[in-house]
Structure 1
Amino acid sequence: METRDVSRDENEKQEPIDTLTPYLAQYSLGEKIRRLRLRKSMGLVELGRHTGLSAAMLSKLENNHVVPTLQTLSRIALVFSVGLDHFFSDPEKHKSIAITRAAERMDLDEKLDTKDILYTFQCLDYPATERKSSSYLATVKIHDPDEVAQHTHEGHEFIYVLSGTLGLKVEDEEVTLDKDDTAYFNSRLPHGYRSIGQGECKAIVVTIP
């Protein structure tokens, strides 16, 4: 099994880490990724759009030809609303309380189909197993309404604005949300966000499958 950092260029070679191969093999990471994808009836190309990875790289991950980095696993976990422990722990063992420490959260950039970073988000509940919803701290960076990239996903979405002013565009309508304002909508409809005014906008985003 070849081991390398998938966040690097896909053509960049890295020497296999033989000592890690048997250790990681016991977790069947590729098979777990494939099962999550097929459970959602999702193709490799669609999963690639959500994670920023190519379909070819995802295929290599599922077939255990490369070993994913922690950040790559985090992106995949966010898409399927599972915790990182889904990949490494006994599925029969469940915790009563899942705690996410502030220092443990990772910033993940969302570009969608653009070159610029539209917003960053941190998963607030990734240690939880069998989540019924997913919660994120989003920092919206983009300001130009013409650069708002809309996307869709299953379920519904709830937003609570913590600071700044958020422009929420659902289909062709944009509404303005100030600090402490909230919104709830069908996330199957095309939607996107932008920060209005000076600086960034921070919001809690909850998605419900």
Structure 2
Amino acid sequence: MERGQAYVEIAPRLMGLRESVGLTVEELAAKVGVRPQTVVLYEEGESEIPVSYLKDVAAACGVDLTALIAGHEAHLHDYTIVRKGQGLSVARRADYDYFHLASRFTHKHMEPFLVTVPPKDENELVWNEHGGQEFIYMLKGTLEIWLDQRRHELEVGDSIYFDSTIPHALRGLNEEEAVFLDVIS
């Protein structure tokens, strides 16, 4: 699948899940804290879908996030090992590459991802905000992270923990991609 096009496959899963648990668009919107128009937008597959939204919908509907991302349920209860390069590819955004590192584990309390963010111009930043909290630990390169209007640079070994409701944007610096562990709760 082309990078950034996974939302086209995820969209019908969102609608199917909502309908299978008997929720209206308005009821789901209220449960996950978004406007009904946002639910419709994501279910139509016309817009990229934030992982945080998928996580919230999965929780509201009583399924694992893996069911929405991959189209099948996670089955492991005690532990899961993910070998280097073997995480579930979540090609859902045009500006980042995500690998889910616990897609086979059920009843997760957090969602760990290996994320690669390419370098780009400051005017190309994509802003996000979502419920929950986020932890980033740098593995490669230099990451510029904007939290609202505050700019921070993270180097290998640096970390940041923040409230994800703060508008945030990321980019790799020095003409290199930034690679980091991202844990969303």
TM-score of the pair, normalised by structure 2: 0.67
Matched, 1:119 2:119: no
- Give SS of 1:98's match: coil
Q: 2:132 aligns with which of 140, 143, 155?
A: 155
Give, in whole Å, the separation in 2 of the partners of 1:159 and 1:184: 6
- Equivalent in 35, 49, 53 of residue 45 of structure 2: 53
**Structure 1 residues 197, 32: closer, same or farther in 2, change over 3 A?**
farther
Q: Distance in 2 between matches of 1:100 and 1:34?
A: 34
Partner SS state of residue 46, structure 1: helix
Residue 175 of structure 2 aligns to a residue whose secondary structure is coil
Q: Quick one: structure 1 residues 85 and 186, their matched pair in 2 at CA, closer, same or farther if it must change by over 3 Å?
A: closer
Q: Supply the distance in 1 between the matched residues of 2:184 and 2:167 (Cα, whole angstroms).
A: 14
* Same amino acid, percent of matched pairs: 20
Structure 2 gaps, min length 5: 1-5, 10-15, 59-63
Question: How far did residue 161 of structure 1 move?
Answer: 0.7
Q: Whole-Å Cα distance in 1 between the matches of residues 180 and 7 of structure 2?
A: 30
Quick check: 1:108 aligned with 2:85? Answer: no
> In the aligned structure 1, how far is the partner of 2:23 from the partner of 2:53?
11
Cα distance in 2 for partners of 1:201, 1:6 equals 23
Alignment partner of 1:150: what SS?
coil
CA distance in 2, matches of 1:85, 1:188: 25
Q: Is the deviation greater in 155-164 or in 125-134?
A: 125-134
CA contact (8 A) 2:143 2:178 kept: yes
**Does the Cα contact within 8 Å between 2:87 and 2:100 map onto a contact in 1?**
no
Change (3 A) 1:48 1:127: farther
RMSD over aligned Cα atoms: 3.7
SS in 1 for 2:86: helix
Write the distance in 2 (CA, Å) between the matches of 1:159 and 1:135.
10
Contact 2:119 2:174 in 1 (8 A): no
> 2 CA distance for matches of 1:203 and 1:48?
32
Structure 1 stretches lacking a partner, 5+ long:
9-27, 56-71, 111-116
Q: CA deviation at 1:142?
A: 3.6
1:82-101 superposed matches below 5 A = 82-84=64-66, 88=72, 95-101=77-83
C-alpha separation in 2, matches of 1:105 and 1:76: 18
8 Å contact 1:51–1:75 — kept in the other structure? no
Report the count of equivalent residues.
Answer: 159
1:207 deviates by 0.9
The equivalent residue for 1:22 is none
Alpha-carbon shift at residue 79 of structure 1 (Å): 5.9
**TM-score with structure 1 length normalisation?**
0.60
Partner amino acid, structure 2, of 1:95: H
Larger Rg: 1
Displacement of 1:129? 1.9
For the structure 1 residues 50 and 163, does the alpha-carbon distance in structure 2 shift closer, same or farther, using more than 3 Å as the test? farther
Whole-angstrom distance in 2 between the partners of 1:207 and 1:6: 19
Q: Provide closer, same or farther for how the CA distance between residues 98 and 131 of structure 1 changes in structure 2, counting only shifts above 3 A.
A: same
Q: Could you say if the C-alpha distance between residues 97 and 32 of structure 1 is closer, same or farther in structure 2, counting changes exceeding 3 Å?
A: farther
Q: In 2 relative to 1, CA 33–207 (structure 1 residues): closer, same or farther, beyond 3 Å?
A: farther
Residues 97 and 44 of structure 1: CA distance in aligned 2, closer, same or farther (over 3 Å)? farther
